[in-house]
Chain A
Amino acid sequence: MAEPPADGAAGTAAREPWRPQLREVSPLRAWWVLMATSLRVVFAYRSNLLNTALGSVALQGSQLLFVGVLLHRFEQVGGWGFGEVALLFAMRLCAHAVCTVPFGQHSAIDFLINEGDYDRLLLRPVSPFLQMLAWRFNPGSLGDLSLGVVVLVVAARLAPVEWTAGAVVLLVLAILAGGLVEAGVQFALSSLSFRLRATWSLKVTVDTTFADFGPYPLGVFGTVGSLALTFVLPLAFIAYLPATALLGRTDELLLPAWAAYSSLLVGPLVFWGGYRAFVHQSRHYDSPAG
């Protein structure tokens, strides 16, 4: 095992029949090495980075503008005022960035499978799932993150919340958990690509539903709508439930008050479930190269 781990396979090829000699690399380290390379690629094309990030800012910003105009005219939505809706919007967008910055490459799965690039992932000694996540960094996610942080800082001042240490910890954990919920859902949808080949519409639909209907208190969707957006499409866990805890509005929930904190547990669970679904379905991979 004298060879350096990164190019060990190529180094031994000349001496004996092809047999890669591999050293175990921790998955986290492998992911980071691949991700760092993807990031370098993205930062090499500065204008494209800026363009795409601006695209994401515009996309999320148009929703912000919409909600802004709505509240300018109506003053409240489902009983929530400007500061409260702003906090909900910001938490949702930050959670979205927690999903898209490290895990956004799930969107490449259709392409990887249909163009045969998934074959290449299978040849390397790192989990194909991790390789997919580091495939090509989407610079748009940096737009999500920047806008999310800016809106969060502003919204934190506008929202009627007393920012004790506990509240800040809850806010941060809730955003992380919300991002895990979204990532888990997208992983699960990505897993369908091994069978359906085309999951793009499905993923975009879920993504835009989260983005466009995330900034409203769930009450506006009625009982059936609220339950559907909690248990069928888990939008409630991304930001709404913990936001009710921060804003002291748990009495409006259809669920018991402790459910407001449930996303902290649900997030990691959905994430793990999505990952397992992906690994499980990937066994059905059928290379387009035959």
Chain B
Amino acid sequence: MTGPVATSTTGATTAAPAGHLAAQARALVAIGRQSVRSALAVRSEVLVSGVAVLVRVVLVILVWRAVYGSTPEVVGVDRSTAVAYAVLGAVFTNVLNPFWRSSLEMRVRQGRIAVDLLRPVGLVPQTLAQQVGTTAAAVPRCVLAVLLALVIGALQAPAGGVLGLLAFAVSTVLGVAVALLCNLVVAMTAFWTLEVGGALMVYRAVAQFASGALIPLWFMPGWLRGTLEWLPFQAQVFTPLSVYFGTVRGWDAVGAVAVQALWVVLLALLAQLVWSRALHRVVVQGG
């Protein structure tokens, strides 16, 4: 069985006819859709996750309003911007850093990875399609949370009108891509250790803090901010939110988005490299 496995997982490296690519794309869309469905399958879970993000948004608003008290501005950031940032930070982190463990790790541990490897779609695209599906399933509750914040006046429309909104959308998509690729690389360590629970928790904690989802990089001491700017985490949350609030604009915004795109490329290459090594390490448990 090793022959077909090896060729199918490296997938599109052979000159694939257009029909083959279309079939692959259809398969990936189906995987993504299935993953949306499974994320929304248990009603009580959907309800709880929805209420949870709303409660969190209200609590962070209260905390940040209290932190500012009557101070109008701290390090050039006014109260309403800080509160609005906290709202979007809570929403972003809800989508990008869920507690849910990557399906990849579980499937390696349960030995089901053997079935995944036999599929005519590569394992990396499969996993990414699943993650995109789970992320998409979180969008409705996040839209609700954003609407709530708008209604109670804790959030204002993005800076820079329609163009600003467009830039924010592009930056958000790139931020999500960076987060998904980071998740993927961390999850792939399962091929070496089988147990990645600890690594995923460390990753989640570091990503939450270093991405600026908990607290904007504006408030961090210079040395810390300087360090974090060299890491991919700030491209997940801090960059899109900086675009939203117009703290980077014009060519600076274009530059920031370009850095995000660069991270997407670098992380995709890293994922591919890790994957090519992982393929030789696959241990099919119970098989």
Do A and B assemble together?
Answer: yes
Taking Cβ atoms with an 8 Å cutoff, the residues of A that contact B are 45, 47-48, 50-56, 58-59, 61-63, 65-66, 69-70, 72-74, 77-78, 140, 196-202, 204-205, 208-209, 212-213, 216, 219-222, 225
A177 to B124, CA, bound (A): 48
**Chain B contact residues, majority secondary structure:** helix
A201:B205 contact, CB within 8 angstroms = no
Q: Is B166 an interface residue (CB 8 A)?
A: no
Chain B 100-119 interface residues, beta-carbon cutoff 8 Å to A: none
25 A–B contacts, CB within 8 A, in A order = A50-B198, A51-B193, A56-B201, A59-B201, A66-B209, A66-B214, A70-B67, A70-B219, A73-B75, A74-B67, A140-B201, A198-B45, A199-B44, A200-B45, A201-B48, A201-B49, A201-B52, A204-B99, A205-B48, A205-B49, A205-B51, A213-B63, A216-B63, A219-B66, A225-B58
A65 to B207, CA, bound (A): 13
Contact digits for B47-81, partner A, Cβ 8 Å, 1 yes 0 no: 01101100110110011001110010011000000
B62:A73 contact, CB within 8 angstroms = no
Residues of B within 8 A of A48 (CB): 195, 198
Residues of B within 8 A of A219 (CB): 66
A69:B198 contact, CB within 8 angstroms = no
B62:A55 contact, CB within 8 angstroms = no
| Contact A55/B44 with A69-B215, A73-B74, A73-B75 known, Cβ cut-off 8 Å | no
A220:B49 contact, CB within 8 angstroms = no
Residue of chain B at shortest CB distance from A216? B63
From B44, B66, B206, B219, name the one whose CB has the most chain A CB atoms within 10 angstroms. Answer: B66
A65 to B206, CA, bound (A): 10
Taking Cβ atoms with an 8 Å cutoff, the residues of B that contact A are 42, 44-45, 48-49, 51-52, 55-56, 58-59, 62-63, 66-68, 71, 74-75, 99, 193, 195, 197-202, 204-206, 208-209, 214-215, 219-221, 224
Residue of chain B at shortest CB distance from A207? B99
Q: Which of A56, A69, A70, A196 contacts B44 (CB 8 A)?
A: A196
Within the complex, what minimum Cβ distance (angstroms) separates A136 from chain B?
12
From A70, A73, A77, name the one whose CB has the most chain B CB atoms within 10 angstroms. Answer: A73
B48:A77 contact, CB within 8 angstroms = no
Residues of A within 8 A of B52 (CB): 201, 205, 209
Within the complex, what minimum Cβ distance (angstroms) separates B187 from chain A?
14
B201:A58 contact, CB within 8 angstroms = yes
Residues of A within 8 A of B201 (CB): 52, 54-56, 58-59, 140
Within the complex, what minimum Cβ distance (angstroms) separates B39 from chain A?
11
A202:B220 contact, CB within 8 angstroms = no
| Contact A51/B198 with A66-B215, A73-B74 known, Cβ cut-off 8 Å | yes
Within the complex, what minimum Cβ distance (angstroms) separates A101 from chain B?
17
A94 to B271, CA, bound (A): 39
A199 to B205, CA, bound (A): 23
| Contact A61/B66 with A51-B199, A74-B74, A205-B48 known, Cβ cut-off 8 Å | no
Residues of A within 8 A of B215 (CB): 66, 69-70
Residues of A within 8 A of B206 (CB): 58, 62
Within the complex, what minimum Cβ distance (angstroms) separates A253 from chain B?
16
Residues of A within 8 A of B200 (CB): 55
